[in-house]
Amino acid sequence: MMIELESVNKIYNQGQPNEVQALYDVDLVIEANSMVCLRGASGSGKSTLLSIIGCILPPTSGRATVAGKQLSRLPDRFMTIHRRQTIGFIFQQFNILPDLTVQENISLPLLPLGVSPEERRMRAKVLIERLGISHRQNFPAGQISGGELQRVAIARALINDQPIILADEPTAHLDTKLSKEFLQIMVDLKKTGKTIIIASHDPLVTEKPEIDRIIDVTDGRVDVS
Ligand SMILES: Nc1ncnc2c1ncn2[C@@H]1O[C@H](COP(=O)(O)OP(=O)(O)OP(=O)(O)O)[C@@H](O)[C@H]1O
Ligand SMILES: [Mg+2]
């Protein structure tokens, strides 16, 4: 399997007056090359769960194994390396830097990996063409449309050919047409062998026939039936 969580708990601000337990004893297995949807109300813990799977946040307790590595046993530095190699994250607000060009934004994750500028440009070009944004490649990202921006976010998540793609409420700010386009890109990526996890309560996503499995998140708990 690709991802395994065992009794994962996440407590923010532990021991402080503003302590929040966001996840309770989550047990979850996600198989390689599956496309799953995390569904749940606002505040139920979807983003927290994605952040743990995405090696961004460590669990407070429990065991999380992602692509063969047990995260709690990895020192921070190695967790970052593992994340860069394994996870492509499409953030809800896309997290694109508006002053950098489309091409620079897409190739940004390759910078810390020591990939040469020439190689970075080449790899970005392939994705820019695949996602149909060639005409915008030298535009500052702050000057392109929402749909184009979304493609930049997808391309950036794919630039290092990571096996796991995580998307946090990817359709929240998109119209129906762009949402459907986004899902089609995810379906095509699944065909290339990627494992895809989408946090969403959008029926367009949850009712998509290609979704292998819906995982309901309720008040920080996951019921695996
Ligand atoms: N950095 C943080 N510090 C403290 N509490 C947090 C933090 N991030 C999230 N929380 C809390 O943890 C709980 C789960 O939040 P999370 O963002 O995972 O939910 P979500 O399901 O993604 O919600 P939404 O659908 O609104 O994005 C919420 O009660 C939230 O307020
Ligand atoms: Mg969220």
12 lines ligand 1 (CB under 6 A): yes
135-138 contacts at long range (C-beta below 8 A, 24 or more positions apart)? 136/102, 137/101, 137/102, 137/103, 138/101, 138/102, 138/103
Nearest atom in ligand 1 to the alpha carbon of residue 21 is 12
* Record: fold of 3-219: Rossmann fold (3.40.50)
Residue 84 has pLDDT above 80, yes or no: yes
Mean pLDDT of 166-187: 90
Dihedral angle sign, alpha carbons of residues 179, 183, 188, 192:
positive
Q: Average per-residue pLDDT in the chain? A: 94
Top-confidence residue, 22 or 179: 22
pLDDT tops 80 at residue 224: no
Q: Is beta strand 221-222 parallel, antiparallel or unpaired with respect to 164-168?
A: unpaired
pLDDT in tens, 91-143: 887 889 999 999 999 999 999 989 999 999 999 999 999 889 999 999 999 99
Q: Do 67 and 86 form a contact (C-beta atoms < 8 A)?
A: yes
* Strand-pair partners of 217: 222
Report which bound ligand comes closest to the CA of 43: 1
Ligand nearest to the backbone CA of 60: 1
Write the pLDDT tens digit of every residue in 203-223. 999 999 999 999 999 999 998
Q: How far is the CA of 218 from the centre of ligand 2 (A)?
A: 13
Bigger pLDDT: 179 vs 197:
197
Cβ–ligand 1 distance for 47 under 6 Å, the answer yes
Which pLDDT score, from 0 to 100, does residue 175 have? 87
In this predicted structure, the answer to whether residue 48 has a pLDDT above a threshold of 70 is yes
13 lines ligand 1 (CB under 6 A): yes
Span 38-44, mean pLDDT? 95
The residue extents of the domains of the chain are 3-219
What was the pLDDT predicted at 73?
A: 79
pTM over 0.75, yes/no: yes
Name the percent of the chain in helix, strand, coil, to the closest 5. 40, 25, 35
Mean pLDDT of 42-71: 95
Q: What percent of the chain has pLDDT over 70?
A: 100
- How many other C-beta atoms lie within 10 A of the C-beta of residue 188? 12
Determine if ligand 1 sits within 6 Å of the CB of residue 200.
no
Q: What pLDDT is attached to residue 225?
A: 59
**Which is nearest to 64 in space by CA: 52, 51, 47?**
52
Ligand 2 centre to CA of 168 (Å) is: 7
What residues form DSSP beta bridges with 9? 61
**Is residue 153 predicted with pLDDT exceeding 80?**
yes
